[in-house]
Chains A and B, each alone.
Chain A
Amino acid sequence: MIGLLLALHLATCGLLAATGRELGRHGLLVAALPPSITTAWALTRIGADEPATATLGWVPGLDLELAFRVDGLALVMTLLVSGIGALVFLYAWGYFGSSAVGVGPFATALIAFSTAMLGLVWSDSVWSLFVFWELTSITSFLLIGHKHADAEVRAAARRALLITAAGGLVLLAGLVVLVDETGVSRLGEMGPISGGGAALVSILLMVAAATKSAQVPFHVWLPGAMAAPTPVSAYLHSATMVKAGVLLVAVGSPILADVAVWTSLGLIFGFGSMLWGAVGALRHRDAKLILAWGTISQLGLMIALLSIGSAKATFAAVSILFAHALFKAALFMVVGEVDVRTGTRDIGELSGLWRTMPLAFGVAVVSAASMAGIPPLLGFPAKEAAIEAVLGLTGAEAWLVGGGVVLGSILTVAYTARFVLGVFGPGPEPTPVHPPRPAMTAPSALLAMLSLAGFVAIGAVNPIVGPASVRIDPQAEVYDLLRWPGVTTAFLVSLAVVGSGLAAGLAAHRLGSGAPDPIGARSVDALIDGVVVGARRLTGRVQHGSLPVYMATMGATVAVVAAPFAWSIDGADIYRWDSPAQAVLAGLMLAAAAVAAVLTTRLGAALGLGAVGIGVAGLFVIQGAPDLALTQLLVETVVVVGFVIGLGHLTRRFPAVGQQWQAVRLVVAAAAAIGVAVALAGSGSSPVGQPPLEALTTQAVEDGGGNNIVNVILTDTRGLDTLGEIVVLVVVAIGVLALAASARPREAS
């Protein structure tokens, strides 16, 4: 079934890629089909005893496989990815007017993201997890950059891609170490680990999670990502993709819970983001940015709760994960509707919408109340569980953790109140409103109703979040979400939180605020610019376009690289010559080479080249290589004839060279010569053994059917190389013929 569903997604993706331009925005309705079917399947899986699994071989030789496993946690994520996904597709159909352009590719990218995200949450093999993780980053980049004509949008998309893709590389490093430490590549089979390797894994995975889930200080890409069309913000940047980091922390918890770095890093990221995100949400005027910063804050809360490591906190984190997706997606949809129907998202310009957009207002109030943790909505029992979890802690950090969660909750209530008041509240003059768009209102209203239904029929939610928590921590089995906990300490704290939060929110609304400068985003952009400029500067330096200088650089590199061989030279292994004739011949040949190099006529140089070739052939004979000598002589003949035919009639003399460059050439040539001598002497000092003459001889006669060992090696033992060699010759011939052919029309004219 898993394979079928993924195939269905992929097929839809291909269909839209092929026909997207004709279908236009109706492609979005087609794209809603696979998520709907997946949601229906996921609903039937609730309460299933065994996780659904599927395995696809990928590269069996490397133990690479695509292993999928839909357990309780994956099921929660599936419901979010596909359930909210189907609604988002419907919403996007309403969001884009019939005249909107580029909706076809948009729909393709969106369903591609759905596919990748499903693959990510279903992955059991760490390798498929990584692949799908990166695919979500790429599709997110495409979706953020939908309005790519705008430079700001492009910068935002680039920022998001660089941060999340860099995080993906960190993830890969972490997964490699993790597989090395645990010995298995399936997440479900990994046991707890500890020690230095585990600490490294913890740091890498936590940083990867922080980039994906926009945790401080990697959060800067998320506010910029609000440049995407609102359906994308509702889907990727609140409900699903940003939850991938939380998911990673969740599946990492059973493996790394005992590692101190894991817990402390998670708490630092989590609480830092929860508080800083809430502050950001209180400062911004753009309704979408308020929600984005709120998302950073809420994701921080989830990661912090998961990092605490107690079963109750884990349970609370999963509950908030589920509730958050419902209310945050609905709120984004409302903001998108406001944006489309009024033309602005600035809470300073909007006024009186509670009267002119009553349905959206209702959805916003219900969802915002769920976000603030007010009954009778799903956010309330989830928030209660979180407060209970931190109140139940003991030890030195209990106060810190508890205080952090309470403070974060107060700020959450405050920015929620400010959001509702700012967008819908009364003002001097009501904002003009375009006619309603039911296709946009319906999905958000459905989500708001789910927030309500989740509280009323809480018995239906427990079988969803319960198994998910148990997947992370088996001890979470005993917990349930409660509609009415009674007057407990947690409830009283909750009451105080809501009260003080509302007061703070009202105060913030009265106070008003300017749009703060996005400090982090600017510095990231400056960093990227710096890299690009630096790369240009470097390219300008090294790619100067002068062939002689490139060649000299290579020669100098040879000299430098060879230098270390000087230490392995052993004088005892180097003798004067194999025979006196060798030395004499070598001397003559070098003399001929030097003459060929300094002769100023081409014909003379060609003759010198021939002399050198004959000398080399002589050396081959002395070395005991008649085959080489024969081949060398024949090759040299043809080359010299070619040289004379091709270049002999050129201007007779070589052009003169500048004095300075001449000096550089000589120095580099001498250095390269010394370097090669050193390398050769060094390698000659460390013989690795005698050649296997016996074996080679036997093989030549019996297998190759010949007595000439060298030729049998060439045609038989290394036959494939010889085949490659003649391919080179054919390619050279084709190249030469092509050059000649390109010359012909010119000569004819």
Chain B
Amino acid sequence: MIATRSPIVQLGIRAASPIALVVAVFLFFAGHNRPGGGFSAGLVLGAVVALRTVAGMSRPIRAVPLLTAGGLLAGAVAFLPMLWGDPLLDQVVVERSIPVLGAVKTGTALAFDAGVTMIVVGLVVAVLDGLGADDLATGPDGGR
């Protein structure tokens, strides 16, 4: 009943999806020098997924694999340094030049941020599942 199957809405969302993807990537890399970061990037992606769900469009990702991968990645960055005696979450800093963003000083923090992003997207997908968004997507009567 909330999900409007208006073609215009669907078209809008379809058009917005790649743009949001770009925004997310920008935010992801901008985080270290400008506002943004892994969490924000994840939320942008999550919002796109939520919109697609509401509009009854396909949702290409599942929660559990995302959460697992994100947790493993962030956990690895956090705990691996302890294996060779460095403190928890010790960083390795690398400096690279990337088009558009310019010089980006970064390091393992980026991998950690990637893990955060995956977890946030996974959480949003999980909430959409948990709140019964599938019922909405299949129609007012829940498809039953």
Q: Do A and B come from one complex?
A: yes
Q: Which residues of A contact B (CB under 8 A)?
A: 626-627, 629-631, 634-635, 637-638, 641-642, 644-646, 648-649, 704-708, 711-712, 714-716, 719-720, 722-723, 726, 729-730, 732-734, 736-737, 739-740, 743, 747
Residues of chain B within 8 A of A638, CB atoms compared:
43, 46-47, 50, 124, 127
Q: Which residues of B contact A (CB under 8 A)?
A: 1-2, 27, 31-37, 39-40, 43-44, 46-47, 50-51, 53-54, 63-64, 67, 70-71, 74, 78, 88-89, 91, 93, 95, 105-107, 109, 112-113, 115-116, 119-120, 122-124, 126-133, 136, 144
A733 adjacent to B123 (CB under 8 Å): yes
Residues of chain B within 8 A of A729, CB atoms compared:
119-120, 123
A705 adjacent to B107 (CB under 8 Å): yes
Q: Given A705-B105, A706-B105, A707-B32, verify A641-B71 contact (CB < 8 Å).
A: no
Q: List 21 A-B contacts (CB under 8 A).
A: A629-B35, A630-B36, A634-B47, A637-B47, A637-B50, A638-B50, A641-B50, A642-B128, A645-B54, A707-B32, A711-B31, A714-B37, A719-B88, A719-B89, A726-B71, A730-B123, A733-B63, A736-B126, A736-B127, A736-B129, A737-B126
Q: Given A638-B50, A648-B2, A723-B89, verify A626-B63 contact (CB < 8 Å).
A: no
| Supplied contacts A726-B71, A733-B63, 17 more A-B pairs, CB within 8 Å | A630-B35, A635-B43, A638-B124, A645-B54, A645-B128, A645-B131, A705-B105, A705-B106, A708-B35, A719-B89, A726-B116, A729-B119, A730-B119, A730-B123, A733-B122, A736-B130, A739-B130
- Within the assembled complex, what's the spacing in Å between the Cα atoms of A705 and B40? 20
A716 adjacent to B91 (CB under 8 Å): yes
- Within the assembled complex, what's the spacing in Å between the Cα atoms of A411 and B34? 91
B63 adjacent to A716 (CB under 8 Å): no
B43 adjacent to A642 (CB under 8 Å): no
B54 adjacent to A641 (CB under 8 Å): yes
- Within the assembled complex, what's the spacing in Å between the Cα atoms of A734 and B67? 9
Q: Given A638-B124, A641-B51, A645-B54, verify A707-B46 contact (CB < 8 Å).
A: no
A642 adjacent to B113 (CB under 8 Å): no
Among A648, A706, A743, the most chain B Cβ lie within 10 Å of the Cβ of A706
B47 adjacent to A707 (CB under 8 Å): no
- Within the assembled complex, what's the spacing in Å between the Cα atoms of A706 and B115? 19
Closest 4 CB pairs of A and B: A706-B32, A634-B43, A646-B131, A719-B89
- Within the assembled complex, what's the spacing in Å between the Cα atoms of A737 and B126? 6
Residue of B nearest to A719 (CB): B89
A705 adjacent to B133 (CB under 8 Å): no
Main secondary structure of the interface of B (DSSP, over half): helix
Residues of chain B within 8 A of A743, CB atoms compared:
132
- Within the assembled complex, what's the spacing in Å between the Cα atoms of A732 and B128? 13
Residues of chain A within 8 A of B133, CB atoms compared:
645
A705 adjacent to B43 (CB under 8 Å): no
Contact with B119, one of A637, A649, A733 (Cβ below 8 angstroms): A733
A715 adjacent to B113 (CB under 8 Å): yes
Residues of chain B within 8 A of A641, CB atoms compared:
47, 50-51, 54
A645 adjacent to B89 (CB under 8 Å): no
A627 adjacent to B105 (CB under 8 Å): no
- Within the assembled complex, what's the spacing in Å between the Cα atoms of A627 and B40? 9
B32 adjacent to A733 (CB under 8 Å): no
A644 adjacent to B33 (CB under 8 Å): no
- Within the assembled complex, what's the spacing in Å between the Cα atoms of A646 and B35? 31
Q: Given A638-B47, A733-B67, verify A720-B88 contact (CB < 8 Å).
A: yes
- Within the assembled complex, what's the spacing in Å between the Cα atoms of A533 and B34? 62
Contact with A708, one of B34, B88, B93, B127 (Cβ below 8 angstroms): B34
Q: Given A645-B128, A740-B130, verify A705-B78 contact (CB < 8 Å).
A: no
Among B36, B46, B64, B126, the most chain A Cβ lie within 10 Å of the Cβ of B126
Residues of chain B within 8 A of A705, CB atoms compared:
32, 91, 93, 95, 105-107, 109
Residues of chain B within 8 A of A736, CB atoms compared:
123, 126-127, 129-130
- Within the assembled complex, what's the spacing in Å between the Cα atoms of A518 and B36? 76
A726 adjacent to B74 (CB under 8 Å): yes
- Within the assembled complex, what's the spacing in Å between the Cα atoms of A13 and B60? 61
B31 adjacent to A708 (CB under 8 Å): yes
Residues of chain A within 8 A of B53, CB atoms compared:
645
Residues of chain A within 8 A of B44, CB atoms compared:
634
Closest-CB distance, B37 to chain A (whole angstroms): 5
Residues of chain B within 8 A of A723, CB atoms compared:
74, 78, 88-89
Closest-CB distance, B88 to chain A (whole angstroms): 6
Residues of chain B within 8 A of A634, CB atoms compared:
40, 43-44, 46-47
Residues of chain B within 8 A of A737, CB atoms compared:
63-64, 126, 129-130
Q: Given A638-B43, A641-B51, A726-B115, verify A733-B1 contact (CB < 8 Å).
A: no
Residue of A nearest to B109 (CB): A715
Closest-CB distance, A180 to chain B (whole angstroms): 36
Residue of B nearest to A643 (CB): B131
Q: Given A645-B2, A708-B34, verify A733-B126 contact (CB < 8 Å).
A: yes
Residue of B nearest to A627 (CB): B35
Residue of A nearest to B120 (CB): A729
- Within the assembled complex, what's the spacing in Å between the Cα atoms of A704 and B32? 9
- Within the assembled complex, what's the spacing in Å between the Cα atoms of A631 and B43? 8
Closest-CB distance, A721 to chain B (whole angstroms): 10
- Within the assembled complex, what's the spacing in Å between the Cα atoms of A720 and B82? 13
A712 adjacent to B89 (CB under 8 Å): no
Residues of chain B within 8 A of A714, CB atoms compared:
37
- Within the assembled complex, what's the spacing in Å between the Cα atoms of A716 and B32? 11
B63 adjacent to A715 (CB under 8 Å): no
Residues of chain A within 8 A of B34, CB atoms compared:
707-708
Among A626, A634, A712, A747, the most chain B Cβ lie within 10 Å of the Cβ of A634
Residues of chain A within 8 A of B144, CB atoms compared:
747
B71 adjacent to A730 (CB under 8 Å): yes
Residues of chain A within 8 A of B95, CB atoms compared:
705
A720 adjacent to B89 (CB under 8 Å): yes
- Within the assembled complex, what's the spacing in Å between the Cα atoms of A630 and B63? 24
Residue of B nearest to A647 (CB): B131
- Within the assembled complex, what's the spacing in Å between the Cα atoms of A726 and B121? 12
Residues of chain B within 8 A of A644, CB atoms compared:
2, 54
- Within the assembled complex, what's the spacing in Å between the Cα atoms of A413 and B104? 96
- Within the assembled complex, what's the spacing in Å between the Cα atoms of A642 and B32? 29
B129 adjacent to A740 (CB under 8 Å): yes
Residues of chain A within 8 A of B91, CB atoms compared:
704-705, 716
